[in-house]
């Protein structure tokens, strides 16, 4: 009788490290949604697809830094977050991220469209802090590390993001 | 509340589903062996916040450097050696909880005279440091029409501190302090009822500090010189708040004085029948032997560091 237990992420990661496409496909099936969700809330849908695509393609080499001590999913989310934030910074330098005032179409998968829209309308410095901490659950210390700022600054940004979000929701009557 | 609602809404946000085309795109790229770009091509650049931190740190470092290099007025440890008999300088404030307040001093018990003491620190294996002689002189005098006691302490302080000479002037009627002068630093303290003016002309320093309510209790630092006025009895048990350090605003610790018995104590000046006064609280471990007849200190001992002891004995009465 075949063993029905799912292959652990750790084993898939080991195989993916050697370029096993099936293993990569399985990892995408398991963690693609979480990766895309994080990237989409940081960057928007279009950019998020590019980030997730690039992350999974680069996974065999990126897995060299995966120490297998923690959960693979948590490690992958950190990789995605850093990749997405790199794009945010690049876009900021090119002044491309002017989400404020941009009309954003609702996505069919949004369970709370008002809140998702309000998050998307936040300035990117506030949005990243809010998404990483409040939605994705990264501790402030890790958010600070990802953003290259102090822990205090991360907390301040998060607090400002909450206030801005609250104001935005009030303004839009939600 | 809005914050709770908002937080709950944020926490409850479900993951966003990727479009189906993304899976196909990834699969096609994997099959095609598409070259993958570097994931995190650049480390986080120091943002504005980081730059501010660098600027603030640089400014702080510059301020520290200026502070270190700028010609400064030397700190004046005014009370450094004042605790030769009493280990802590003190200003009497409120009564420590649970302790009876030190009863009013008896000014009429004060007498003029000179007492010479020798102090040493000793420990195991023959360790001994001679801390020299200290002479305490009490003389009657007049100041601005007031009858006063002028109490002068002369001697050598702790190793390296040189010769000490202090004078304390108190009113004979109340034993309230009027002035204090410390010679090595030229420091003077003039008492003005509820405040004290401290001047150290040599360093251009002048402070005026509000004094806590002294009432009839003495400064504890002066207590050693005022010991004859303390009404010790066999059942004596009193509390005096001790101000650690010099400033009246400093931390206060209760000092408990208890007469623990009577002993005959032999010192170079002779044999005296003494009250053994145990000090508790912050100065726990100190013991004074006070001559029952004159009220003068005959001997004091303070154990510290486990097996080290400071000892002061009366050498001579003049």
**CB contacts, 8 Å: B7 with chain A:** 134, 162
Distance from CA of A102 to the nearest CA of B (A): 20
Compute the half-sphere exposure of residue A88: CA atoms within 13 Å on the CB side of its CA.
29
ipTM higher than the 0.95 cut: no
Q: Does residue B94 register a pLDDT over 50?
A: no
Q: Which two tokens stand for residue A56?
A: 């999974």
Q: According to the model, what pLDDT value does residue B165 have? A: 65
DSSP string, A109-121: T-SSHHHHHHHHH
Contact A25 B9 (CB under 8 A): no
Tell me the Cα Rg of chain A: 17
Over residues B169-192, the mean pLDDT reads 69
**CB contacts, 8 Å: B26 with chain A:** 25, 28, 32, 52-53, 56-57
Size of interface A-B (CB pairs under 8 A): 121
Higher pLDDT, B184 or B290: B290
Interface of A with B in 90-149 (CB under 8 A): 107, 109-112, 115-116, 130, 134-135, 146-149
Over residues B138-158, the mean pLDDT reads 75
Residue in the block written with tokens 């949005």: A127
Out of A59-68, B8-17, B138-147, B255-264, give the one with best mean pLDDT: B255-264
Q: How confident is the model at residue B49 (pLDDT cuts 50, 70, 90)?
A: low
**CB contacts, 8 Å: A32 with chain B:** 18, 22-23, 26
Q: According to the model, what pLDDT value does residue B264 have? A: 97
The partner residue sitting opposite B15, judged by closest CB among A37, A53, A58, is: A37
Average pLDDT of chain B to the nearest whole number: 69
Q: Give burial (CB, 10 Å; 0-12/13-18/19+) of B232.
A: buried
Q: Does A166 reach chain B within 8 Å, measured CB to CB?
A: yes
Q: Which of A139, A138, A130 is nearest to A163 (CA)?
A: A130
Helix (H) or strand (E) holding B2: helix B2-11
Least confident of B108-117, B160-169, B299-308: B160-169
Best of A57, A156, A166 to disrupt the B interface (most B CBs within 10 Å) is: A57
Higher pLDDT, B249 or B17: B17
Higher pLDDT, B303 or B276: B276
Q: Does residue B110 register a pLDDT over 80?
A: yes
Q: Does residue B200 register a pLDDT over 80?
A: no
Contact B40 A36 (CB under 8 A): no
Contact A115 B13 (CB under 8 A): yes
Q: According to the model, what pLDDT value does residue B37 have? A: 58
DSSP A132: I
Give this prediction's pTM.
0.43
Distance from CA of A6 to the nearest CA of B (A): 21
Q: Which two tokens stand for residue B54?
A: 């660098």
Rounded-to-integer distance, Cα B243 and Cα A169, Å: 57
Predicted confidence (pLDDT) per residue in B240-284, tens digit: 655 444 444 444 556 678 899 999 999 999 999 999 998 775 445
Helix (H) or strand (E) holding B57: helix B48-69
Q: According to the model, what pLDDT value does residue B272 have? A: 96
**Weakly modelled stretches of chain A, pLDDT under 70:** 1-4, 68-69, 90-110, 173-174
């Amino acid at each position: 009788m075949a063993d029905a237990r799912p292959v652990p992420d750790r084993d898939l990661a080991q195989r993916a490290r050697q370029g096993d496409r099936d293993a990569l496909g399985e990892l995408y099936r398991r963690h693609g949604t979480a990766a895309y969700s994080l990237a989409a809330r940081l960057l928007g849908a279009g950019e998020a697809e590019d980030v997730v695509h690039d992350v999974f393609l680069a996974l065999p080499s990126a897995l060299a830094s995966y120490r297998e001590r923690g959960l693979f999913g948590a490690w992958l989310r950190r990789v995605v977050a850093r990749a997405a934030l790199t794009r945010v910074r690049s876009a900021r330098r090119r002044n491309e991220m002017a989400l404020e005032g941009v009309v954003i179409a609702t996505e069919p998968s949004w369970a709370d469209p008002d809140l998702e829209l309000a998050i998307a309308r936040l300035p990117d410095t506030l949005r990243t802090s809010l998404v990483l901490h409040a939605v994705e659950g990264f501790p402030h210390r890790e958010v600070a590390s990802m953003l290259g700022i102090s822990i205090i600054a991360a907390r301040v940004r998060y607090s400002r993001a909450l206030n801005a979000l609250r104001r935005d929701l009030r303004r839009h009557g939600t | 509340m809005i914050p709770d609602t908002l937080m709950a809404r944020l926490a409850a946000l479900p993951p966003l589903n990727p479009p189906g085309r993304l899976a196909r795109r990834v699969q096609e790229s994997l099959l095609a062996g598409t070259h993958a770009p570097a994931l995190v091509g650049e480390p986080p650049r120091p943002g504005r916040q980081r730059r501010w931190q660098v600027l603030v740190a640089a400014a702080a470092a510059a301020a520290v450097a200026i502070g270190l290099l700028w010609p400064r007025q030397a700190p004046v440890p005014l009370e450094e050696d004042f605790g030769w008999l009493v280990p802590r300088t003190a200003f009497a404030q409120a009564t420590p909880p649970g302790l009876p307040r030190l009863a009013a001093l008896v000014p009429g018990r004060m007498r003029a005279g000179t007492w010479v003491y020798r102090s040493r620190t000793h420990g195991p294996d023959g360790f001994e440091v001679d801390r020299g002689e200290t002479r305490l002189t009490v003389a009657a005098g007049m100041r601005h029409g007031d009858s006063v006691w002028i109490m002068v302490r002369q001697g050598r302080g702790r190793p390296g501190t040189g010769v000490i000479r202090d004078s304390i002037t108190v009113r004979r009627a109340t034993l309230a302090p009027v002035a204090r002068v410390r010679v090595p630093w030229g420091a003077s303290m003039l008492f003005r009822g509820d405040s004290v003016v401290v001047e150290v002309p040599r360093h251009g320093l002048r402070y005026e500090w509000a004094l806590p309510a002294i009432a009839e209790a003495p400064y504890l630092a002066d207590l050693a010189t005022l010991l004859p006025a303390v009404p010790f009895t066999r059942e004596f048990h009193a509390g005096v708040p001790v101000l650690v350090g010099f400033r009246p605003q400093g931390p206060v610790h209760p000092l408990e004085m208890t007469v623990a018995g009577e002993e005959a104590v032999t010192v170079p000046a002779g044999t005296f029948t003494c009250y053994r006064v145990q000090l508790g609280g912050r100065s726990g471990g100190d013991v004074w032997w006070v001559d029952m007849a004159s009220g003068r200190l005959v001997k004091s001992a303070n154990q510290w560091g486990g097996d080290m002891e400071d000892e002061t004995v009366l050498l001579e009465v003049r």
